[in-house]
């Protein structure tokens, strides 16, 4: 039996789908479904149970699991309730870490590229506590993920007990099916595809940094299928532990992503650039690019899908189809 926290969310539901596709049906999801239609992310899946987060501690009592895949968190980078974020993203993660340690259960968890802040310290997934202490996340969400990374690193540095396998994954800019409930946190491609399809002018942010052209703000965009492939590899590689970047290693512009969508549906690009809201200018990342050397050195050889191919597949199979859900 596998437990996937946040299993009704974006990355979690794609992970559950991949597990089902691989023949694994003894999968338990811990999540809240709410009223935003998140249940649709799981509508095609076979599950052993769906456990509310408030009941997870009791549900775990006396259980034996093959692994815990901890994707559950408040993932909005704009969230401001510090107490709620600490409870959901940090303390609940510590409790799961303790349970997996005590029960000798592999523990794979979602960290984030948001831990790198503005990128001034680079994007090297050095797992040492000394290296982690140099990072300065720019928002509450990134800090909560960073705090947990440091807690795991501190235990490792002190030689304390940890799960037989533990892996933190610093996801970069993930996009793909089942992110539709995320509102303003959806990828730009998902938010803007209906405009592209309808022939409406697409708006992207102007650059407010000298030397960077409008629309040339760059991210390490990675398709959710590539992210899931890494997690399945970790499940099959119990000797691999550590903190790993999960990105393509290639920064591409928002304009590149949009042009790939236009090319897929065969229409002429219509793009205009608008001022970035004042509220986010000070915390806006202009460049992210993962270093994936440690993941590759650990044995991962699944590769990463080029942006144009990833966008084409997402548009063709989901965004431009009658059923957008995986």
Residue 205 counted as an annotated binding residue? yes
CB under 8 Å to 293, separation ≥6 — which residues? none
Residue 41 counted as an annotated binding residue? no
Residue 196 counted as an annotated binding residue? no
Residue 109 counted as an annotated binding residue? no
Q: Residue 273 has what DSSP assignment?
A: E
Distance of alpha carbon 247 from the chain centroid: 10
Residue 174 counted as an annotated binding residue? yes
CA-based nearest residue to 280, from 222, 205, 171: 205
Residue 212 counted as an annotated binding residue? no
Residue 123 counted as an annotated binding residue? no
How does strand 252-253 pair with strand 218-219? Answer: antiparallel
Residue 10 counted as an annotated binding residue? yes
Q: Residue 134 has what DSSP assignment?
A: T
Residue 71 counted as an annotated binding residue? yes
Residue 253 counted as an annotated binding residue? no
291 is catalytic: no
Q: How far apart are CA 86 and CA 130, in angstroms?
A: 23
182 is catalytic: yes
The catalytic residue among 44, 116, 133, 182 is 182
Cβ atoms 156, 128 nearer than 8 A: no
Q: How far apart are CA 73 and CA 87, in angstroms?
A: 10
The catalytic residue among 109, 141, 180, 262 is 141
Residue 184 counted as an annotated binding residue? yes
Q: What is the phi/psi pair of residue 173, to 5°?
A: -85, 90
For residues 28-59, one letter each, b for 16 or more C-beta atoms within 10 angstroms of the residue's C-beta and e for the rest, the string is bbbbebeeeebebbbeebebeeebeeeebeee
Feature table: binding site for NADP(+): 10-11, 31-32, 38, 71-75, 145, 174, 182
Would you please indicate which residues are annotated as catalytic (active-site) residues?
141, 182
Which residue ranges are tagged as binding site for substrate?
Answer: 173, 184, 205-208, 219, 284
Going by the annotation, the residues of the binding site are 10-11, 31-32, 38, 71-75, 145, 173-174, 182, 184, 205-208, 219, 284
């Amino acid at each position: 039996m596998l437990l996937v926290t946040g299993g009704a969310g974006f990355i979690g539901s794609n992970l559950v789908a991949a597990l089902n596709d691989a023949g694994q049906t003894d999968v338990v999801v811990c999540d809240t479904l709410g009223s935003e239609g998140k249940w649709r992310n799981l509508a095609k899946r076979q599950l052993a149970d769906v456990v509310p987060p408030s009941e997870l501690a009791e549900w775990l009592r006396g259980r034996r699991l093959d692994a815990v895949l901890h994707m559950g968190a408040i993932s909005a980078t704009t969230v401001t309730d510090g107490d709620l974020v600490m409870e959901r993203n940090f303390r609940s993660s510590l409790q799961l870490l303790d349970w997996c340690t005590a029960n000798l259960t592999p523990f794979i968890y979602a960290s984030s590229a948001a831990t790198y802040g503005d990128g001034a310290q680079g994007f090297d997934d050095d797992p040492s506590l000394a290296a982690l202490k140099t990072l300065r996340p720019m928002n509450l969400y990134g800090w909560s993920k960073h705090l947990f990374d440091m807690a795991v690193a501190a235990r490792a540095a002190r030689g304390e007990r940890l799960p037989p396998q533990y892996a933190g994954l610093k996801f970069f800019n993930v996009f793909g099916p089942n992110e539709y409930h995320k509102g303003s946190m959806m990828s730009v491609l998902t938010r803007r595809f209906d405009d592209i399809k309808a022939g409406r002018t697409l708006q992207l942010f102007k650059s407010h940094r000298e030397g960077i052209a409008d629309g040339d703000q760059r991210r390490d965009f990675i398709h959710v299928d590539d992210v899931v492939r890494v997690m399945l590899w970790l499940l099959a590689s119990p000797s691999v532990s550590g903190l790993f970047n999960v990105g393509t290693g290639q920064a591409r512009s928002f304009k590149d992503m949009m042009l790939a969508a236009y090319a897929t549906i065969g229409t002429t690009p219509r793009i205009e650039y608008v001022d970035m809201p004042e509220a986010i200018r000070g915390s806006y990342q202009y460049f992210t690019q993962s270093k994936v050397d440690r993941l590759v050195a650990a044995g991962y050889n699944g590769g990463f899908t080029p942006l144009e191919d990833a966008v084409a597949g997402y548009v063709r199979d989901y965004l431009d189809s009658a059923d957008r859900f995986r």
